């Protein structure tokens, strides 16, 4: 032992030999169960890289997304269609604030649209030139597929690309209530690759066989370009517009916006994973088609999409105290 006296305090330090002896005694007394990881009781097969890979069981069960706890939209009752319209407008304004909060907007570019419950051939959209973080319910524009502004707030200015893209999608997809498109950073970076996503994470499986790549011409200012995007999208939930940005759709505002948020994150993860693997001269580990399909059946449903979107919009309600309802 080493004894050191400083001022009125005495410190006693153990010697190196005593520390080593103590460590050895501790290791001897430790049971094998605390040193070794527990052995799985499931069947296992060796993977090619030397890791142990569990054999997945892809037995599909009906209502799997319900089983994991996802709740769908509540069945709301409205006095009339006009009351429903006001509710829809409020949710759309909240969606814009959500995109602004998570940094999914880029300057004046981008738009989220929702079908009008009274006149379904028209839709609500943001006024051009108003930051997403400042959009209120009263600011929203209602437009038809020809770009005519039917209702407006303080700013009567429409982004031409908004009605060209969204008008074509709403016309081609009666099941779509909401469509979202912005020039998010990670979305643009991945869209510059001009190819579909790899399935390298559970979140990426949400878009298994459910996204397309559109080889467009840049800014959408021609009517046929919007129709081409709608045709390329088909019955999928997402499109990667080459050198442009992301596009997602859904049966609810919450679903479409959650898919957009998730898709941008998936793009970010793939960019990071590809860079990390390339730096080591390797490739990323891919999820099998069967596993990806199974995963999408659980976390890629409209119910799951709504559930995740509502969570983020609830946060906006808390942060803004619903000031967007003005």
The CATH number that applies at residue 95 is 3.40.225.10
Confidence band, pLDDT 50/70/90 cuts, at residue 50 = very low
In a domain, residue 58? The reply is: no
Which neighbouring-strand residues pair with 13?
2
Instruction: Evaluate if pTM is beyond 0.85.
Output: no
CB 111, CB 159: distance < 8 Å: yes
Q: Residue 159: name the closest of 173, 174, 143 by CA.
A: 143
Instruction: Tell me the pLDDT tens digit for each residue of 83-92.
Output: 999 999 999 9
Q: How long, in residues, is the chain?
A: 326
For the record, the structure tokens of 193 come out as 């690759």
Question: How many CA within 13 A on the CB side of residue 86?
Answer: 8
Cα separation, 224 vs 69, in Å, equals 42
* Torsion angle defined by CA atoms of residues 230, 231, 235 and 237, in that order, rounded to the nearest 10 degrees: -40
Cα dist. 43→52, 285, 286, 293 in Å?
10, 21, 21, 22
Name the residue with higher pLDDT: 201 or 45: 201
Cβ neighbours around 203 below 10 Å, total: 16
pLDDT of residue 282: 95
Residue 11's pLDDT band (cuts 50, 70, 90) = very low
CA–CA separation, 317 and 310 (whole Å): 10
In a domain, 179, yes or no: yes
Looking up tokens 């070794």 gives 36
Within a domain: 101:
yes
Number of structural domains, the chain?
1
pLDDT at 325 over 90: yes
Q: Which of 81-85, 106-110, 245-249 comes out lowest in average pLDDT?
A: 106-110
Summarize the confidence of residues 285-304 as an average pLDDT: 97
Domain contains 83: yes
> Locate tokens 């021609």: which residue?
222
Residue 198: inside a domain: yes
Query: Per mean pLDDT, which range of 6-10, 194-198, 257-261, 298-302 is the poorest?
Result: 6-10
CA–CA separation, 112 vs 126, rounded Å? 7
Examine residue 313 and state whether it is found in any structural domain, yes or no: yes
Give a yes or no: residue 61 inside a domain: no
pLDDT for the residue numbered 43: 37
Residue 156 DSSP class: -
Domain with 105 in it: 72-325
Whether residue 47 lies inside any domain: the answer is no
């Amino acid at each position: 032992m080493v004894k050191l006296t400083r001022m009125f305090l005495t410190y006693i330090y153990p010697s190196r030999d005593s520390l080593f002896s103590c460590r050895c005694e501790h290791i001897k007394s430790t049971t094998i169960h605390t040193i070794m990881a527990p052995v799985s009781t499931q069947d296992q097969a060796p993977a090619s890289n030397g890791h142990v890979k569990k054999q997945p069981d892809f037995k599909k069960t009906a209502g799997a997304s319900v089983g994991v706890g996802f709740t769908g939209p509540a069945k709301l009752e409205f006095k009339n269609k006009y009351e429903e319209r006001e509710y829809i407008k409020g949710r759309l304004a909240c969606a814009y604030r959500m995109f602004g909060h998570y940094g999914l907007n880029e300057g004046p570019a981008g738009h989220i649209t929702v079908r009008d419950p009274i006149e379904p051939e028209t839709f609500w959209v943001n006024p051009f030139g108003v930051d997403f973080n400042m959009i209120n319910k009263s600011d929203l524009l209602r437009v038809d597929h020809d770009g005519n502004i039917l209702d407006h707030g303080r700013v009567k200015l429409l982004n031409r690309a908004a009605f060209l893209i969204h008008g074509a999608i709403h016309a081609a997809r009666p099941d779509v209530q909401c469509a979202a498109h912005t020039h998010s950073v990670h979305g643009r970076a991945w869209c510059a690759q001009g190819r579909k996503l790899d399935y390298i994470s559970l979140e990426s499986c949400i878009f298994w066989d459910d996204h397309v790549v559109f080889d467009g011409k840049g800014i959408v200012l021609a009517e046929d370009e919007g129709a081409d995007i709608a045709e390329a999208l088909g019955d999928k939930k997402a499109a990667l517009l080459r050198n442009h940005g992301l596009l997602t759709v859904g049966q609810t505002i919450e679903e479409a916006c959650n898919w957009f948020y998730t898709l941008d994150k998936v793009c970010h993860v793939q960019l990071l994973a590809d860079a990390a693997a390339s730096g080591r001269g390797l490739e990323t580990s891919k999820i099998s088609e069967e596993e990806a399909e199974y995963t999408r059946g659980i976390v890629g449903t409209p119910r799951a999409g709504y559930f995740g979107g509502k969570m983020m919009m609830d946060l906006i309600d808390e942060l803004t105290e619903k000031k967007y309802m003005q």
